[in-house]
Amino acid sequence: MLIRGLSILLAGIVLSAAIAKTARAAAPAQLPPVISTAISAAYANQCTLLKNTDIDGFSKTFTNHWVESDSNGTKVTKAQAIGAIKQQIAAMGLTITDCAATIGGGSVSSDGNTVTVNVEQSADGTVASQTGTSPIQISSRETDIWVKRGANWLQSASTVLKNTIMLNGQVVQQSGSR
């Protein structure tokens, strides 16, 4: 349960994650600069909200029908993911101290209102342990779909291609391979 909860947290950060230090996010050649900048800013906003533990604000960066699929085909809804993040924060004292998203390419729909991006995301933080706190590192490679709603870009779907969670420098979960 702990590991699955952390996987769901990754989606949030990453869902994602959630997780970004997107000031360093690489602009994909395939995306027009204005869209690349907007999507990078959306990832940065998600990171800021997670670092500030504003999970309700973080939740608003996703469409109501957001869903994540992992490498095994398991699907997680927005409500499940947000619930898991809240649980991990409360039960484990999870804090996110740093996160990043690097966009590696993507495509834009003909109307310009839907963007698919390939992204590598990472998050660093801590969890409570018997000796105080322990470092946690989460990384993923995924394909995310963003849709434009008015002036805002909202994440509408994620497919996690690879996911790694490390606790105290040791891999505690790894899935996917692409």
Instruction: Read off the amino acid at residue 4.
Output: R
Helix extents (H) in the chain: 2-12, 14-17, 33-51, 55-59, 78-92
Using 50, 70 and 90 to split pLDDT, how confident is the model at 152?
very high
Tell me the C-alpha distance between 118 and 109, whole Å: 15
User: What residues are paired with 139 via a beta bridge?
Assistant: 122, 164
Q: Residue 124 has what pLDDT?
A: 96
- Cβ atoms within 10 Å, residue 107: 12
Helices 78-92 and 2-12: angle between axes, nearest 10 degrees: 120
Q: Residue 119 has what pLDDT?
A: 95
Q: Residue 11 has what pLDDT?
A: 41
Q: Which fold has domain 2-176?
A: Nuclear Transport Factor 2; Chain: A, (3.10.450)
Does pLDDT of 3 surpass 80? no
Helix extents (H) in 23-155: 33-51, 55-59, 78-92
Residue 81 in 3-state DSSP? helix
Q: Residue 137 has what pLDDT?
A: 96
Tell me the C-alpha distance between 124 and 163, whole Å: 14
| Torsion angles phi and psi, residue 94, rounded to 5 | -65, 130
Placement of tokens 């990453």 in the chain = 14
The 3-class SS string of 159-178 reads EEEEEEEEECCEEEEEEECC
Condensed to tens digits (0 to 9), the pLDDT of residues 71-94 reads: 788 999 999 999 999 998 998 899
Report CA torsion sign: 106, 12, 46, 92: negative
Can you give the pTM of this predicted structure? 0.81
